[in-house]
Amino acid sequence: MVISAVLVVCAVAMTSVFVYKQLRPGVSASAQTPPPEKVPEWLGILASGRVVAGGDSAKVKLVVLTDFECPACRVLHERMREWVIAYPDELQVIYVHHPLRYHRLGLLAARASECLRNSITLQKWSDVVFAQQDSLGKKSWSQFALEAGATDTTGIDSCASSTNPVAAIEAGLRVGEQEKLTGTPTVLVNGWNFSRPISRVQLDPMILELH
C-alpha cells in the first residue's frame, strides 16, 4: 500500500510538471480551450470513486464524475473504452457518481450500480447502461443487470428505488459541491481538471511522458 501511494504521488508530480509545461496558465491548446486547473485534495476524490478499468499501478489516473443519464458522459465512456484498449497498463479509469439533480434516472441508475456492487463490475454495468441510455425508464433495473452479467437480480429494482442514502453516491455529490464541479462529465487527469472532456490528442502525450 505504501509503495502504491508513493507511485501515485510520483505520477502526480510528473504529470503536474508535464501539464504545466504544455498548458501553463496563459497558454492554451487553442483560443477556445482554457488550460486545465489543479484540483486541491484530488486524492480524496480518487478514493471516493470505483475503478472501471486498469490496474492500480497505472501512472495515469483518469477520474470522471459521471451521470448515467448524461449524453456527454455516454460519449466519453465510448472514448475511454478505446483508450483503455490502447493503454491497458498505463491508464486507470475511475468513476465517481455525480448524478445531476434534474436527472432522476441518473440517480436511480447510480443506486442500481451500487446495489450490484458485489455481483458485477462497474465497467459491465456502465457498458450496458450507456449503450442503452435511451431505454432508461423503459426497462427494469433487473433487466439491465441481467444483460450486464448478474446472475441474481433479486431485489435490485426495490433497492434502486429506495430512498436510503448510498455512501458512494453521497461522497460523489459532496465532491462536486466542495470543488464546485457542477457539470458532467468532469474529468480529472492525475488531479488536473479539464474544462471540457479531454481528447485523445491531449491524453496521448501525457501517457507517453509518463511511460
Q: Give the pLDDT of the chain (211 residues) as one tens digit per residue.
A: 433 443 344 444 434 333 334 333 333 344 455 678 888 888 888 888 999 999 999 999 999 999 999 999 999 999 999 999 999 999 999 999 999 988 889 999 999 999 999 999 999 999 999 999 999 999 999 999 999 999 999 999 999 999 999 999 999 999 888 878 768 999 999 999 876 777 888 888 888 887 6
Grid coordinates belonging to 172: 460523489
Structure-block grid coordinates of residue 210: 509518463
Task: Please state, in angstroms and rounded to a whole number, the distance separating the CA atoms of residues 132 and 144.
Answer: 9
Cβ–Cβ under 8 Å, residues 76 and 33: no
pTM beyond 0.85: the answer is: no
Phi and psi torsions of 21, nearest 5°? -70, -40
Q: Do you find a cis peptide bond into 185, omega within 30 degrees of 0?
A: yes
| Whether the Cβ atoms of residue 189 and residue 210 lie closer than 8 Å to each other | no
Give the homologous superfamily in CATH for domain 2-210: Glutaredoxin (3.40.30.10)
User: Collapsing DSSP states into helix, strand and coil, what is residue 200?
Assistant: helix
